[in-house]
Structure 1
Amino acid sequence: MNTKTSSLVAGNTQCRHSVLPKAEHRHCARHIFALWHKNYKGEEFKFMFWKAVWAYNEVDYQDALEEMGKVSPSAVEAFKGYDPRCFCRAFTNTVTKCDVVVSNMAETFNGYILGARTKHLIFMLEDIRTSLMQRLIAKREELEKYKGSICPRIQAKLEKEKDWAASCNVMPSSKMVFQVSHRLDTLTVDLTRRVCTCRKWELTGIPCCHAVACIFFLHQEAESYVHEWYKKETHLLSYSSAIPPCVGERHWPRVELLIDPPPIKVGPGRPRKNRRKDPHEDPKKPGKLTKHGTQMTCSLCQSTQHNKRRCPEKGKEVQPQPKKGRGRPRKVGNGSMDGTQAMSFDHHNLSAQPTLTGKGGRVLYRGRGSRGASTSRVHP
């Protein structure tokens, strides 16, 4: 990390402690990765970076750094230079019940008001006000129709934890304290304090797979152990308030004082609407990065030294079998045949006479169909 970046991080740290000292400050891991990845490229470094960032406890965090140090010790020093306590899950405050390490929420809101940001100040605020007024009522009505006890997305995350809980071995220590064995690791779960050694439950407010296994051991519902902030009633309280409507300018009260909006100052050049894009972002697909820095592998032998064209195993690969046609095989006559057999049957039975079979394989009788009065068949 260069001197300029070090001084910037140090200045941000000092500002963080002087301004709003009791608030938790986090940095976007995606932006830090963009800076760190300039000197340490490749899929291997990318995997190790996010493994350290997404670790829920300090033990997994240290294991990820040790794995990174075996490849490049300087990469670990550069990683620590960005103050990991501000963008790694292992050091995140558990009071907020949020494990987000990127600024996607802010970027989403910026995209939501993108059209309003190009207007004058008064009209921009009016557009944002009306959009939020409609959004509050739409979210409230949508959640009122929901039948579950916790929010839909939280329920989906909990279902994944229920699936992973099948691989956990639970051993009770007391009525509410358990020892859980999972993937060659041993952890402690306390259902009374709602904590687990993995720290995931304490950080997110959603029971982890170890806690879910203990809850199932007691024959209880995992939904009852989800934090109150994710319950349907709490979510409805968040959208219970409403933004009052505002009348048009014609109905505003008239006063003697001259109160004018700020003057419109048009700057030089075309106004900027789009965000600053990443240098390696695909111009044809907004928001999608190119394959710059991606380590390519051979699709035949999975080697990183060559591609499929120069693979020594190119002539030895097994030819893929032709795919079977979708749907039910086509019926010919009274039997069912696949596409090849049907073509062969039609080829050897070509005739100038009209066909004797109708829909569903029924035999035609004297031009009246299978339900005709006569029972004698039409001979060619």
Structure 2
Amino acid sequence: MKSLAYMHPEAASYLCEVGFERWARAYFPGHRYNVMTTKFAESFNTLVRHARGLPITMLIEFIRDTFPVTPWVKDKIAKRVRKSSNLEVRSITSDRYQVLNSGQYDALVDLTECTCTCRKFQLSQIPCMHVIAVARYMKLTTCIQWVNPYYSTTFYHIIYVDAVNSLGDQSKWIHLEGARVIHPQYVHRRCVGRPVNKNRRPSQ
């Protein structure tokens, strides 16, 4: 916001006036998801990158065993555990803790409300590094109890329990009378290379 106010004061003023909850996900009162991509193929390839060299039968077994678990969450927590190693925790009450970074105030954790002032805990429903530091301060060996149930293996099983049926033989599909076929819009392919600038004044 400081950088925006320096570069474009009017834009920064407008964003402050409309309220952070109108445009910043961290302050939105409801739950919004941060998945802003449709590149499922890339995500899937990243998941199986270590198993792509296996025989096809072993690859299928790897995929089948991987889907019901949430390795992404485990990896996320592991990274936050490393980030929390230098944090200091001070108890306020049995449920509220102040977290310091290099002796300076960094965040306030409320385990009753499951909130942290950094707001990552509320957004992802996964313990942030401040909550993990509090768990370490409480002599806990894990912080899984604060992970939202929809990241659990059981929840994944429920999501994928229904079968996905085949579409069947296309020649036997029922076609509606008067149905109009809508073709995708034609997109002109740009030529390879840098486009010619036609607005340049010719040399004198």
Q: So what's the TM-score if we normalise by structure 2?
A: 0.64
Q: How does 1:196-235 map to 2 (within 5 A)?
A: 196-220=116-140, 221-235=142-156
Deviation of residue 144 (structure 1)?
Answer: 5.0
Deviation per residue, 1:41-93 (Å, 9 max, x gap): xxxxxxxxxxxxxxxxxxxxxxxx24532454234246558875343133223
235-244 vs 199-208, greater mean Cα deviation: 235-244
Does the 8 Å contact 2:21/2:29 carry over to 1? no
Structure with the higher fraction of residues in strand conformation: 2
Alignment counterpart, residue 36 of structure 2, candidates 99, 104, 110? 104
Deviation of residue 210 (structure 1)?
Answer: 0.7
**Aligned length, in residue pairs:** 173
Alignment counterpart, residue 165 of structure 1, candidates 84, 102, 115? 84
Q: Distance in 2 between matches of 1:147 and 1:249?
A: 30
Cα RMSD, aligned residues only: 3.9
Q: 1:192 to 1:143 in 2, by over 3 A?
A: farther
Deviation of residue 248 (structure 1)?
Answer: 1.3
Does the 8 Å contact 1:194/1:202 carry over to 2? yes
Q: 1:207 to 1:265 in 2, by over 3 A?
A: closer
2:163 matches 1:242: yes
Deviation of residue 209 (structure 1)?
Answer: 0.7
Q: Distance in 1 between matches of 2:5 and 2:147?
A: 37
Deviation per residue, 1:210-263 (Å, 9 max, x gap): 10001112222022321111112212222221222233145569xxxx844724
Overall identity of the aligned pairs, in %:
19
Cross-structure match for 1:68:
4
Higher Cα Rg, which structure: 1
**Residue 242 of structure 1 aligns to which amino acid in structure 2?**
A
Q: How does 1:17-28 map to 2 (within 5 A)?
A: none
Unaligned runs of at least 5 residues, structure 2: 43-59, 194-204
Q: Distance in 1 between matches of 2:176 and 2:67?
A: 51
**Residue 76 of structure 1 aligns to which amino acid in structure 2?**
A
Does the 8 Å contact 1:94/1:203 carry over to 2? no
Q: Distance in 2 between matches of 1:259 and 1:71?
A: 57
Unaligned runs of at least 5 residues, structure 1: 1-64, 112-139, 278-282, 285-380
Cross-structure match for 1:192:
112
Q: Distance in 2 between matches of 1:208 and 1:141?
A: 33
Q: Distance in 2 between matches of 1:208 and 1:82?
A: 28
Q: Distance in 1 between matches of 2:17 and 2:171?
A: 57
**Residue 181 of structure 1 aligns to which amino acid in structure 2?**
L
Secondary structure of the structure 1 residue equivalent to 2:83? helix
**Residue 179 of structure 1 aligns to which amino acid in structure 2?**
Q
Secondary structure of the structure 2 residue equivalent to 1:262? coil
Moved >6 Å (runs of 4+): none
Cross-structure match for 2:186:
271
